Structure 1
Amino acid sequence: MMTRSKEVNYENSGIPNSLLDTDSYVRIVGMGDKCVERLIKDQRGFISILVLMCGMLIFMVIVPYITGIYYGVKHKGMQTKAWMNEALEFAAAASNMNGDLDISQLDPDMAKQYFSIALADILDGSLSNETITPLNTDYYPGPIKITDFEIVSPGETLPNGITARQPGFLATIEVPLLDADLPWVGHKTISFPITNFAVVKSNQLAKK
């Protein structure tokens, strides 16, 4: 009975005759797949560490940058609100020189004019059509717009949920507080609304 030789046949393909057997070939290929799978499993730890390190690096760079932007915007917003409140209180007093607190006697147009002029002066800008263009664009990268100005009667609810007990004026401005290069977004200039309320005070007590 003749058997297949296990020697190498270099004349045809240079592959051992045993590899020409289908079962042997499948076993060898299967061993190769297992080796690749084992190699991938061995590298999982390294890949996990690499991904973790990249994530930590991004976190350490992006988070402080975003935090700095947030506190910069917050500080600028609080400062602008304080300046706005100063201008609004001046307008509430200047437009009510007769000291009458009767709501029908209040002049919102005059108060708005006083407010606009005072705010433009405080912010060091030029006023035109309810828009204040700052002369120093380093602090405000764009124009400040006066978007709303109205009388508030006693008993009305203010935007912060508090009920007004005295008549006053409610003003809203739109201020560009953010001008920065944001990650994955690019350069953006974003404006935020700021609202303030000032009561109208009577000067009749001071005259007595």
Structure 2
Amino acid sequence: MLVEPILFSYMVAFLTMLCFALGVCFGVWKQAQAKFTWTVEALQFAAQAANVTGDIKEVRLNEGKARRYFEAVMRQTVKDYTLKEFTAVNTGDPVPGGRALAPGYRVAVDVPVAVIDTPLISQKVTIPMRCYSAVTKSYQIKKK
């Protein structure tokens, strides 16, 4: 008779810890997804803003200008990040997810995401993010 209340207590404790762990995982995933979206948007802005000619039919890449634009936007949105790589990419170069279909830029950053954001026991996880953005409109890219 005494076994059942103890077993029930263990089950309640286990389910409570499981719900807490799932909540923490969802929070980290949500923050990471938001920061990845901001990173992609910053790269797309930098790619379009650094286009020297302003013409999307004949693109001339300017890696230095695009990097400055990217870093400026990242400082405003993500704030805390480590830039690992920022390179210009030509058509056919390897990029995350395959090969580049148009000239653009490839970036790799490490972004810390808060797991537990409390004053004394703050824990962070660093998530590597890689993305590519072309200096073009989506309707101009044709798959071969």
Equivalence for 2:129: 194
Q: What amino acid does structure 2 have at the position aligned with 1:178?
A: A
Return the index of the structure with the highest Cα Rg.
1
Distance in 1 between residues matched to 2:111 and 2:16, nearest whole Å: 28
TM-score (norm 2): 0.76
**Runs (5+) with no aligned partner, structure 1:** 1-44, 124-131, 133-142, 203-208
Give yes or no for the alignment of 1:180 onto 2:135.
Answer: no
SS in structure 2 at match of 1:175: strand
Distance in 2 between residues matched to 1:78 and 1:164, nearest whole Å: 23
Q: What amino acid does structure 1 have at the position aligned with 2:113?
A: L
| 1:149 counterpart (82, 86, 106) | 86
TM-fit CA distance, 1:59: 1.8
SS in structure 1 at match of 2:25: helix
Give the aligned length.
Answer: 131
Equivalence map 1:49-198=2 (5 Å): 49=4, 52-98=7-53, 99=55, 100-101=58-59, 105-123=60-78, 132=79, 143-160=80-97, 162-180=98-116, 188-198=123-133
Which structure is richer in relative contact order (CA contacts within 8 A, separation 6 or more)? 2
Q: What amino acid does structure 2 have at the position aligned with 1:153?
A: N
Structure 1 residues 77-131: Cα deviation after superposition (integer angstroms, max 9, x where no partner): 1211222222111110111131332xxx4221221111101222234xxxxxxxx
Equivalence for 2:142: none
Q: What amino acid does structure 1 have at the position aligned with 2:131?
A: N
Distance in 2 between residues matched to 1:122 and 1:190, nearest whole Å: 18
**Runs (5+) with no aligned partner, structure 2:** 138-144
Question: Share of identical aligned residues, percent?
Answer: 24
Runs of 4+ residues deviating >2 angstroms: 49-55, 156-160
Structure 1 residues 150-181: Cα deviation after superposition (integer angstroms, max 9, x where no partner): 12222233223x22211111112222213328
